[in-house]
Chain A
Amino acid sequence: RRLCSQAAAAAAASSSASTSATSAAEAQKFASLADSWWDRAGPLQALHSLNRLRVPLVRTAASFARGPAGLADAELVDLGCGGGLLAEPLARLGVRVLGVDPVAESVEAASSRRQQSAAAESGIADGRLTFRCQTVSELAADRPAEFDLAVASEVLEHVDNWPEFLRSAADLLRPGGCLVVTTINRTAASYWLGVVAAERLLRLVPPGTHDWRLFIPPDQLRRRLADCGLETRLTVGMRLNPLTGRWAWSRDLSLSYGLVAQKLPAAGTH
């Protein structure tokens, strides 16, 4: 319910179409899930099991962006990090992760878990995992071209103005850096299976999580990325088995899919 005060003020002050891409309704949805982020058997369990695909995808992006150096000591920003489900395992692998989210409750959940884990020596060195309550566009203004990797996982379909979001994400990357996106395609299949079946029948995700109208087809996404100077290097489908709760890679892009796009170096350099 509470967007960060800075973000709300910026949105109010702006005269153009909202710089805060997340609507209040979406923010409320996530605020009410604040206690469920780290309940592995709870309503967000599909996000936990998605890490088995997301982490290797980020690792692939790191090999594009940094070659053999890979993930070790990479600077990564997790856009829309929620409770830090993806940020934490990446930090354990030696990545320097900054998690940002405009929903204060999510950032609180992530920070307090980080404090608990720090007390219990979770294997993450100090300073490698930090969380901030901020919007993407603000962060892009603060820290342009500072990151090797940016991740927007299961985020774009919750955002009203995703082209604007992508532009800010592109600004955060240094030349040669990579953006990793996972989101859901807008097809008949994703309506019947991804929304109706998943939310209402099988309860794989909490009901009302997704608005089908906000889903994004991959070719539209790739076009917008190209507009921002990001060249798509890899697109893969992802499929959830409703019985086992396990995700698997798929050639079929009609439901969930993941994508890695690289920021082209400045003109004249290679």
Chain B
Amino acid sequence: ANLYLYSRVLPQWQATRCASAFCFRRSLSSTAGLNSDDVDVAIVGGGPVGLAIACSLASGGDGNVATSSSSRKLRVRLLEAGKLPSSQPAAAAAAPDGSFSNRAVALSPSTVAHLRRLGAWNDADPRIAPVRGMRVVESDSDAALTFDAAQIGGDVSGEGALAYVTELAPVVSRLVGQAAKAGAQLRDGCRLESIDGDNSFDRQPFLHLRLTNKSSLRTRLLIGCDGFSSPVRKLAGIEAVDVPYPRHKAMVATLEIDGPDGLNGEAFQRFLPDGPIALLPLPGRFASLVWCSKSDRISHLIKTSDREFLADLNRCLATGPAPAAPLVTAVQADSRASFPLGFMHANRYASGRIVLAGDAAHRLSPLAGQGMNLGMEDAACLSRLLLEAASNGADPADPAYLLDYETQRQRQVVPVAIVNETLGWLYSLPPDSWLTAPLRWARTTGFRLTNTFSPAKEFLRRSATTGRIDLL
């Protein structure tokens, strides 16, 4: 028996009768205990990106178990340092109506289509809110950029929504279930400590991984999906442009909006000099807040009373001559939390037998909600190429396929990263200084022009919803 794993398992897991999610117990007991065993692909990081890759690779395609006998099934193991959620989204079902987790994400239609293919998306879930419109305003002019779902014809999912706002936890839970069902081995409480020997494709047929619980693992390919401070990236020796923003922080909260329909499916964002403030619609009267500002201000806002927080929030939302902003009437108890901000982009996404995906490869400011969508596109692209490699009888770490992944993804990620961070910088210019006036004028004019120049707006909308930047 593998006591190291069981000792970290929470009591409620042992009470859960979901046998399929824990089928890995049986496979564990059939291997040589804590000794080295071999897999084709080891994934470090049990977030949505790592789980989506595990699900795709283990199932040999889009959530369906591959029936072709001439394709090699990949042996996939996912290692997560923390706890993996149960595959039953019991927590969400038990949550009282009118309460939403403060970890919510806006998923593009192409990410949703990807999750649907993996069997991890429930279209009928009442806790998912489609975003049918978007209004982006500045604080020092009345310029506004509006996107309207009514103008959209035939996007990826064919449902006429710009994005879908959902709590993150149920998505992760469903992915855990699908990955386990597909045959991926999921291990939590497992942290990667070091890699023995060389990380070289030609000289080594395997990577030798050493885990902190003294066990070891041989894998052909290691995928790092372990977040922006990625230990895997550091072990691979991949350099990165890493710029933390220590003077800024972001906060999240769950809010209630005035009026019977709340935001009514329309997302709202205002650029303030300290940082943008955004409201994403949730079902009913609820909304999810993402507010970027100076660190001490955010720390104060987290600790202050509800009344003072709401007053401050409404004042900031209403700043500037742009048309009426939503009015926030309540904040959910215990939903205010903060997280750090920074920019990071790895110079290489692949090196030797190690490849990076998601935040481990690139970290953006949450200006346009692109972080998770870019990560899920990484997962889709990498899975597709690794499955092609497997069906061509190639080693999973074959550099030709990893280089293709890096090239295809960098072509998409780098422009988005540049635009995102430049936009952030443009909007952080001090509003009262005459030195920055020409830049601010240009920014506002650009803003107005984008709103009126349909090809530009159409390009933005298409890029955001399909997840691909195509200039033609």
Contacts and interface: CB of A to CB of B under 8 A. Distances in A.
Interface of A: 38, 40, 48-49, 51-52, 55-56, 59, 62, 69-72, 88-94, 117, 120-123, 246
A70 B394 contact: no
Given A59-B70, A121-B205, 9 more contacts: A52-B400, A70-B69, A89-B393, A93-B70, A93-B71, A94-B70, A120-B205, A121-B38, A123-B72
Interface of B: 38, 68-72, 202, 205-206, 388, 391-395, 399-400, 404
Given A40-B399, A49-B400, A92-B393, A72 B70 contact: yes
A89 B392 contact: yes
Contact of A48 (B68, B71, B393, B400): B400
A123 B395 CA distance: 9
B206 to A, nearest CB: 7
Contacts of A92: 72, 393-394
A69 to B, nearest CB: 8
Instruction: Tell me the dominant secondary structure on chain A's binding face.
Output: helix
A55 B400 CA distance: 15
Best-buried of B205, B392, B393, B399 by chain A (most CB within 10 Å): B393
Contact of A51 (B205, B392, B399): B392
A66 to B, nearest CB: 10
Nearest to A119: B205
A89 B394 contact: yes
A94 B69 CA distance: 9
B69 A91 contact: no
B410 to A, nearest CB: 14
Contacts of A69: 69
A90 B205 contact: no
List 9 A-B pairs, minimum CB-CB distance, nearest first.
Answer: A89-B393, A120-B205, A71-B70, A92-B393, A70-B70, A55-B392, A93-B393, A72-B69, A72-B70
Contacts of B391: 55-56, 93
A93 B388 CA distance: 12
Contacts of B38: 121
Given A40-B400, A49-B400, A70 B68 contact: yes
Contacts of A55: 391-393
5 contacts: A51-B392, A56-B391, A70-B68, A93-B70, A94-B69
A121 to B, nearest CB: 7
Contacts of B202: 38, 40
Contacts of B404: 246
A149 to B, nearest CB: 12
Contacts of B394: 51, 89, 92
A89 B395 CA distance: 8
B393 A120 contact: no
A49 B399 CA distance: 10
B206 A93 contact: no
Contact of B392 (A52, A121, A246): A52
A93 B205 contact: no
Contact of B393 (A72, A90, A117): A90
A56 B392 CA distance: 7
Contacts of A71: 70
A100 to B, nearest CB: 19
Contacts of B72: 92-94, 123
Contacts of A38: 202
Contacts of A123: 72
Contacts of B70: 59, 62, 70-72, 93-94
Nearest to A88: B393
A70 B68 CA distance: 9
A120 B399 contact: no
Nearest to B201: A40
A117 B68 contact: no
Nearest to A92: B393
A71 B404 CA distance: 26
A71 B400 CA distance: 23
Contacts of B392: 51-52, 55-56, 89
A269 B381 CA distance: 47
B385 to A, nearest CB: 11
A117 B205 contact: yes
